[in-house]
Structure 1
């Protein structure tokens, strides 16, 4: 496997905690990838995520769009975001990474961090913006920045548009797979691990499409109701980390162990929290027909092989959770405006076309959706390299 363009480890002089930056590839001199903060984050993890970002970007290449996909990168900090010193650590990390962010790394929220927090810390670290490296590629920087700021100010039923577009993309990916399989939405049962930004939005869009969310897991455990959970009530009762206030649960809702979502009697599992959630030791508990990777790298490769042997299909992260990243750039480059209906329509149309193409490729090649996604991504990376300056 080809080594990334840049890989570095930073050690905080105050706490001794480590942070990482991996740039897998540059396109037109810029790479894109969020910054995550979690206890136990490693360089290998960030390297895999950066490689995945290269693929996510390339999969959305459309020669008709103003948005030209960037290269892939990722940042990570080994710290619990709930730690009292986490914010100061974030500021110090961003200050250390400032030359890279100013030059070629565009970043934003990821696991453990909100965009508001990243923006505040970036300003304190002396940065103009966490995505300022892309500004020289814009035709009208002022108009583009204003359009993105306006889009971030949009709320739909109490949740920011920036949170919702990713879940819209995940939901549309699953709906496309259901349509291809001839499975009706009504009666399709879902369990979601994580009710944060991605998991919460995904649960909302699936419930509104007519699917039944019967289990949701957060750090306190699994909440379940075979008759279906009230997703909107759960979203209203969660804190900034996606943890649901148990005092608000209606009668009949059961509280189960933290990993009970895995064995829930459902058709679809949506891991939307941490990486490496499904491994060879726990995959045999899963009876769902589909696993939809709303999180990054939640299914380990060996586990996916075992799941496939049992007839379980994994819809891969590089495809299904790519909507948030793409929405940023569609908005900034001017393919869409700061409007929720336009954003959702564009996301649904783009994600449906991409998932249809990947699933058709998997069927034609007799392979997995992940292998097909990487084949499609490799084709599009080659097309990007023919037209634009790319470095690895």
Structure 2
């Protein structure tokens, strides 16, 4: 694939902190990719995420659908989101990036930021929306914006639909892999690192499918129970950063060190927090049969090679966690309406089909699921470019 189309490094004039924007590719003059905030965020990290967004968009290309995939992009800010000055820094970053958001970068929440926070900062900068660059591509902008607003207002059992669709997609990818391997849901154990938006929703959907969540990790440590955790109680006890109030734990729940999630006895391991969470040393502790990448880039390439060599299958982020982004566009372009059941049904159907296609391709090519996903995306990108163009 080609080098990124554009890379921007911004230095805050008040704090000296840096922010980044990488546009990997444009389709019809527009790109898509969230904005993350974390201490230590780098330009290389953002570039890798932007390339991943290009592939996620291509993987969801459906010639019969209303949603036309966009190019890939990503934003990042090097700051702890808990820092007292984080919000003001976010506003200054968005003011600097305002011309890009207005013209060709659609964005939203990612690691460290919620959509509510992004929306508040976007309004403060005078922008119409974090996705306004896509509005000229819509057939009926007013109806499309109303659909998305209505969809964001929906809650299901106390959690917003926008927070749930990504986890629904992660869970469906995992279930598709289990089905292909002939593994029953009952008795299959799950460990989840991170109980924020993606990790929390994934835990809910896997538990409701009949799997047993035996361990979850947050910034305070790992909570484990071999008999199974009460996922709904833990979700209800989270703060805005996905940290669980330990007062909600039951007598059988144990508090373990923060890295204990790596070695928990489980068939599915779901890293759903930070990038680069599993390195070559960490992978030695993993006994799971599948790693399901709910986070972006959680497994280092060298670690994935070692995991693959000893029979652990890594289901890659470019497929597994792509439903959040796709749901925005399915809703905005009108493939689905602002309805939870319709959103979940469309997400499950699309994610299962994409996961199965990836696993079939991997088996046929004798390669990994990640290599298969990249091959599928590489096949589709020229078709998208030929049909829609980069800039028009």
TM-score range, shorter chain: over 0.9
- Residue 205 of structure 1 and its aligned partner are, at CA, apart by 0.1
Name the CA distance, whole Å, in 2 between partners of 1:25 and 1:385: 10
Is 1:109 aligned with 2:109?
yes
Name the CA distance, whole Å, in 1 between partners of 2:306 and 2:73: 30
Name the CA distance, whole Å, in 1 between partners of 2:223 and 2:194: 11
Name the CA distance, whole Å, in 2 between partners of 1:95 and 1:385: 31
Name the CA distance, whole Å, in 2 between partners of 1:380 and 1:184: 34
* Correspondences of 1:227-242 after superposition (within 5 Å): 227-242=227-242
| Map of 1:296 onto structure 2 | 296
| Map of 2:221 onto structure 1 | 221
* Matched residue SS, 1:26: coil
| Map of 1:276 onto structure 2 | 276
Q: Return structure 1 stretches of 4+ with deviation > 3 angstroms.
A: none
| Map of 1:40 onto structure 2 | 40
| Map of 1:365 onto structure 2 | 365
* Correspondences of 1:237-386 after superposition (within 5 Å): 237-386=237-386
| Map of 2:177 onto structure 1 | 177
Name the CA distance, whole Å, in 1 between partners of 2:325 and 2:380: 17
TM-score by length of 2: 0.99
* Matched residue SS, 2:357: helix
| Map of 1:63 onto structure 2 | 63
380-389 or 70-79, larger mean C-alpha shift: 380-389
- Residue 75 of structure 1 and its aligned partner are, at CA, apart by 0.1
* Correspondences of 1:67-78 after superposition (within 5 Å): 67-78=67-78
Name the CA distance, whole Å, in 1 between partners of 2:146 and 2:326: 18
| Map of 1:126 onto structure 2 | 126
* Matched residue SS, 1:37: strand
Is 1:389 aligned with 2:389?
yes
Name the CA distance, whole Å, in 2 between partners of 1:358 and 1:97: 36
| Map of 2:135 onto structure 1 | 135
- Residue 128 of structure 1 and its aligned partner are, at CA, apart by 0.7
Name the CA distance, whole Å, in 2 between partners of 1:225 and 1:355: 30
Name the CA distance, whole Å, in 2 between partners of 1:212 and 1:382: 42
Name the CA distance, whole Å, in 2 between partners of 1:88 and 1:197: 23
Cα RMSD of the aligned pairs, angstroms, is 0.6
Name the CA distance, whole Å, in 1 between partners of 2:180 and 2:114: 35
- Residue 386 of structure 1 and its aligned partner are, at CA, apart by 1.9
Structure 2: which 5+ runs fail to align?
none
Name the CA distance, whole Å, in 2 between partners of 1:142 and 1:280: 50
- Residue 381 of structure 1 and its aligned partner are, at CA, apart by 0.9
- Residue 380 of structure 1 and its aligned partner are, at CA, apart by 1.2
- Residue 24 of structure 1 and its aligned partner are, at CA, apart by 0.1
Write the deviation string for residues 364-386 of structure 1: whole angstroms up to 9, x where unpaired. 00000000000001111121112
Name the CA distance, whole Å, in 2 between partners of 1:355 and 1:253: 33
Write the deviation string for residues 346-371 of structure 1: whole angstroms up to 9, x where unpaired. 00000011001000000000000000
Name the CA distance, whole Å, in 1 between partners of 2:286 and 2:355: 23
Structure 1: which 5+ runs fail to align?
none
* Matched residue SS, 1:217: strand
Name the CA distance, whole Å, in 1 between partners of 2:380 and 2:328: 20
Name the CA distance, whole Å, in 1 between partners of 2:140 and 2:315: 37
248-257 or 199-208, larger mean C-alpha shift: 248-257
- Residue 390 of structure 1 and its aligned partner are, at CA, apart by 2.0
Name the CA distance, whole Å, in 2 between partners of 1:262 and 1:367: 25
* Matched residue SS, 2:296: coil
Write the deviation string for residues 312-365 of structure 1: whole angstroms up to 9, x where unpaired. 000000000000000000000000000000000000000011001000000000
| Map of 1:50 onto structure 2 | 50
* Correspondences of 1:69-88 after superposition (within 5 Å): 69-88=69-88
Name the CA distance, whole Å, in 2 between partners of 1:147 and 1:35: 23
- Residue 252 of structure 1 and its aligned partner are, at CA, apart by 1.4
- Residue 2 of structure 1 and its aligned partner are, at CA, apart by 2.7
